[in-house]
Amino acid sequence: MAKYTLIVNGIEQGVDVDPAMPLLWILRDELNLTGTKYSCGVGVCGACTVLVDGQAFRSCQLTAAFASGKKITTIEGLSDEVTHPVQQAWEELNVPQCGYCQSGQMLAAAALLSKNPKPQDSIIDQVMSQNICRCGTHYRIKKAIHRASEIAAKKG
Amino acid sequence: MNRRNFLRISSFTAGAWLISDLIPLASDARDRAGVESFMPNPLIRIQSDGKVILYVMKQEMGQQVDTSLPALIAEELDVDPQRVQVETFAYDAAIAGRYNTYASASIRSSWQTLRKAGAAARTMLMNAAADVWQVSPEDLKTENSKVINPVTGASLSYANLIEKASNLKVPDNPVLKDLKDFKLIGKKNKRTNIKKILGGKQEYGIDVRLPGMVYAAVVRSPVFYGKIQSWDDSALKKLGPGILQVVPVSQMGNGVDNRNGVAIIATNTWLAFRAQQLLKVEWDLGAIPNSSTVALSAALKKAVSTEKPVLQFDSKGKASFFSKITDLKAFKATYELPYLAHLAMEPINCTAWYKDGKYELWGGFQAPGAFANNLSKAFGLDPSAIFVNLLPMGGAFGRKEKVDNAAEAMQLSKATGKPVQVVFSRADDTKNDFYRPASFHQLTAVADKLSISNWRHEVGIATFPAKNISSAQDIYGGPANDLCYPVNDYQSAFYAVESPVPIGSWRSISYNHNVFAVESFIDELAKRLLIDPVDFRMNLFKNGFDENNGKTKHMQRLQTVLQKCADAIHWKQKPLLKRFRGIACCQYTHTDAYTAHAFEISVSPEKAITIHKVVCAIDCGLIIDPDGFRAQVEGSLVWALSAAIKEEITITNGQADQQSFFDHDVMRLREMPPFELIIVESNENPGGAGEPAVPSVAPALCNAIAAATGKRIRMLPLIKEGYTI
């Protein structure tokens, strides 16, 4: 066991965990932040995506040592009143079906937009094809990223 | 009695229609502190603070019943949409089967009842206001949670009519709105619980956290009927004190469907998963029938060619004999389909807490009826000794009709005395699925350009357990017992082959087998007869069905969607150079829905498929929630393409070979083609939306491939034939 200080959604949290325990499970089972989802556990589906210093990472592949001291953003901390442009666009276009993969989708989209505020289809295809959705919200995700880009531009 | 906590529940005896169709007496009639409430029926709670709570009995798995079903009540109740709160209807063991959510049935089975529930409440509120104003209720109208007197301009809010209304009789035959007066049905309605999802606050089964809860992973028998011989947990010591207990889990029959296994109880999920890798279990696997994909495929073909069918049909239904076509002019073709898994994004899980001889459970379940009907029997309990907190599912697609996970969690909570959450790893989920069964189809027909005189559809299918005719029914993909084209001499036959792995419902059930075979074969017949495949189908429709058998209307609706689909893809105009088209249609009789899909594609010499466009035309009757409906059809395309192009479960030694998305890929965002959806306007009764837009996708794509390459696809998925997307 080892002690780490994690900064999750702006709040410093001390944890005492096995150094090999992935961030996904620290968030879910230690900190009860269950918005970050488990689906494959091996970094291939994207359901557990979180932001670390603004970049999208698969939390099932991160250790506490890596994340320690960096700014971790989970879906619970993406915005205060579900007002991030991505969340607004997701709501406008009613993107989610079951919703389970959507926190990972939204964080991946938020990271994409922060780097590339007006992404072309080809970039969206490339980035968002790394996240799996079984309900089939693919079309709406693509539209919603363009819409989020517009909303963010208006907000300035 | 404290007046402020007073709950007014109407006498349900008057609303006999509601009880018999749907509900229970006052199942969720809990008092709520601080407000006075009126429950004209168990699905509606009108509060003195102006809030109206509408309850949903069907289980949410992405199909948005949390929006469509309350809209049906709210429409007739004329309630202010801003003040409506939607909640799930609490589980009641006495009526557990009524929570079951499958077969695209939620709307089509309850839409009139829900409207009546709303209309009855509205009538009572109007009668109450009429009494206050001493006028006739016929002279009043309702709007935004208010009863209005158009003559005087006076209005009374529903909240202020609670007391009076609750003393009135529930009307037997409330008047429903005319379709043209709908304000919510058929309109875009705000999704009630979307903010929870967007903020990461939606609680799925896997997110349940209870005080003192422990986590379990189970090493399950690799084959369904395997038995534990021994286990060795010595390697677990190195994982430290977080490993709390190792506990065997027993297989329970009786529709519970769990496997024998050994569970590790740990302080977190990750540790339980690690221990699962280290625990060694020796199994007695027993004899496994047709234990590989190759053996099963051979057995399916052999059954169709040498055995007598176990079930046969003719145009009137079940038949007493089956005769093959011996005409030498007959055309014959075969098709083969693999096992398929579900891989819902939320892996199978369940949380249970055993206390004082009773179980409380948390999880997402498509068939809560199994708690009262199967689990209680398996555990030797009265159904009332199991209570389930029903939570939304992170995808289900038929897999979550099973309660194998609940049986495990219940056994483990009893053994540990703690609340236990069992989580299937992704590999557990894939390897312990109830698969869409593999099948082999042989079709034979005598036809000319204008008609089909003789038609035989023989289906060999994997059934479980054993050669079990009951599981051969169309729920799991059984025989084709119906054909949407008129044929003089129609017969189908069913051959059962023992499956090595369990089978289950998979979004669009038997239709995804049978429609693939039928629509591929129709296309082949057209090619052989040198007629355009749309013209051929239209010629067949012209022959018509016998007026008495009720199929004519179905056929006409199918014909309409086929025509609209063909028009939209400009079927009659030549495509651009090197582009080819394919079309297929599906009469989804189960849920009164009619769909056609058309594809325009090109195929490179290296077998890389480019899909330029997909069109879907669908008639699903009256649409309650158009945006949610569109989402279902979009999702169906993704689901069906994924299966047609990529998905397959292969079997070795009686076990699934695949485990996760790295060896079982699914459709990705960049692979989705441009899509046009045409919804046929209809005032027919609402059909089911979740499944009917799946089956015609694969044959339409494969018919386009045949047009492009001259090669018929006889086996799915396409990647197995060397195609890529």
Q: Which domains does chain B have, with CATH numbers?
A: 3-198 (3.30.365.10), 205-286+348-423 (3.30.365.10), 293-339+435-721 (3.30.365.10)
- For residue B179, give the nearest of B678, B624, B554, B679 by alpha carbon: B624
- Rg of the Cα atoms in chain A: 15
Tokens at B462, concatenated: 């994997």
Tokens at A57, concatenated: 């990472």
- Per-residue pLDDT tens over the stretch B230-256: 999 999 999 999 999 999 999 998 889
CB-based contact, A37 to chain B, within 8 Å: yes
What is the pLDDT at residue B3? 35
CATH of the domain at A8: 3.10.20.30
Number of domains in chain A: 2
What is the pLDDT at residue B89? 92
pLDDT at B187 over 80: yes
Q: Is the ipTM of this complex over 0.90?
A: yes
Residue B723 per-residue DSSP state: -
Q: Is B635 in contact with A37 (Cβ distance < 8 A)?
A: no
Which residues on A lie below 8 Å from B660 (Cβ)? 40, 42, 44
pLDDT at A33 over 60: yes
Tell me how far apart the alpha carbons of residues B403 and B370 are, in angstroms, rounded to a whole number. 7
Q: State the nearest Cα–Cα gap between B410 and chain A, in angstroms.
A: 21
B503 residue type, one letter: I
Q: What is the mean pLDDT of chain B?
A: 92
Q: Please give the average per-residue pLDDT across B559-575, as a whole number.
A: 98
pLDDT at B574 over 70: yes
**Distance of alpha carbon B235 from the chain centroid:** 42
Least confident of A71-85, B23-37, B63-77, B121-135: B23-37
Nearest to A94 among B191, B425, B661 (CB): B191
- For residue B437, give the nearest of B494, B484, B379 by alpha carbon: B494
The residue length of chain A stands at 156
Tell me how far apart the alpha carbons of residues B390 and B99 are, in angstroms, rounded to a whole number. 9
pLDDT at B448 over 90: yes
* A64 and A122 fall within a common domain: no
* A58 and A108 fall within a common domain: no
Nearest to B345 among A24, A82, A100 (CB): A100
DSSP collapsed to 3 states, A87-133: HHHHHHCCCCCCCCCHHHHHHHHHHHHHHCCCCCHHHHHHHHCCCCC
pLDDT at B28 over 60: no
Tell me how far apart the alpha carbons of residues B71 and B69 are, in angstroms, rounded to a whole number. 5
* A107 and A147 fall within a common domain: yes
Q: Is B666 in contact with A132 (Cβ distance < 8 A)?
A: yes
What is the pLDDT at residue B424? 98
What is the pLDDT at residue B33? 55
B98 neighbors B23 (Cβ within 8 angstroms) = yes
Residues 6+ apart with CB under 8 A from B55: B28, B42, B43, B44, B45, B86, B87, B88, B89
What is the pLDDT at residue B578? 97
pLDDT at B358 over 60: yes
* A37 and A99 fall within a common domain: no
Q: Please give the average per-residue pLDDT across B172-192, as a whole number.
A: 91
**Exposure string over A56-80, b if 16+ CB within 10 A, otherwise e:** bbbbbebbbeebbeeebbbbbbbbe
Domain containing A26: what range? 2-77
CB-based contact, A100 to chain B, within 8 Å: yes
CB-based contact, A67 to chain B, within 8 Å: no
Tell me how far apart the alpha carbons of residues B684 and B477 are, in angstroms, rounded to a whole number. 27
B509 neighbors B591 (Cβ within 8 angstroms) = no
What is the pLDDT at residue B6? 55
Choosing among B214, B397, B426, B670, which should be mutated to test the A contact, i.e. which has the most A CBs within 10 A?
Answer: B670
Choosing among A98, A129, A151, which should be mutated to test the B contact, i.e. which has the most B CBs within 10 A?
Answer: A98
Q: State the nearest Cα–Cα gap between A104 and chain B, in angstroms.
A: 10
What is the pLDDT at residue B7? 62
* A43 and A91 fall within a common domain: no
**pTM exceeds 0.80:** yes
* A71 and A101 fall within a common domain: no
Window 124-143 of A, Cβ < 8 Å to B: 124-126, 128-129, 131-142
Q: Is B240 in contact with A76 (Cβ distance < 8 A)?
A: no
* A51 and A93 fall within a common domain: no
The nearest alpha carbon in chain A to B195 belongs to A82
pLDDT at B21 over 70: no
Q: State the nearest Cα–Cα gap between B625 and chain A, in angstroms.
A: 12
CB-based contact, A43 to chain B, within 8 Å: no
* A93 and A69 fall within a common domain: no
Q: Is A39 in contact with B345 (Cβ distance < 8 A)?
A: yes
Last residue of one domain, picked from the residues A77, A103, A123: A77
Q: Is A98 in contact with B344 (Cβ distance < 8 A)?
A: yes
Last residue of one domain, picked from the residues A77, A111, A127: A77
- Per-residue pLDDT tens over the stretch B273-289: 999 999 999 999 999 99
Instruction: For residue B10, name the pLDDT band (cuts at 50, 70, 90).
Output: low
What is the pLDDT at residue B41? 85
B557 residue type, one letter: R
Which residues on B lie below 8 Å from A120 (Cβ)? none
Tell me how far apart the alpha carbons of residues B113 and B529 are, in angstroms, rounded to a whole number. 50
- For residue B164, give the nearest of B193, B137, B132 by alpha carbon: B132
What is the pLDDT at residue B170? 87
Tell me how far apart the alpha carbons of residues B181 and A116 are, in angstroms, rounded to a whole number. 47
Which residues on A lie below 8 Å from B207 (Cβ)? 28, 34
Residue B580 phi/psi, 5° resolution? Answer: -140, 155
CATH of the domain at A138: 1.10.150.120
* A53 and A96 fall within a common domain: no
* A98 and A56 fall within a common domain: no
Percent of chain B at pLDDT > 70 equals: 94
What is the pLDDT at residue B17? 43
The residue length of chain B stands at 725
pLDDT at B471 over 70: no
- Per-residue pLDDT tens over the stretch A77-113: 999 999 999 999 999 999 999 999 999 999 999 999 9
B197 neighbors A96 (Cβ within 8 angstroms) = yes
* A69 and A113 fall within a common domain: no
Last residue of one domain, picked from the residues A77, A108, A142: A77
* A33 and A99 fall within a common domain: no
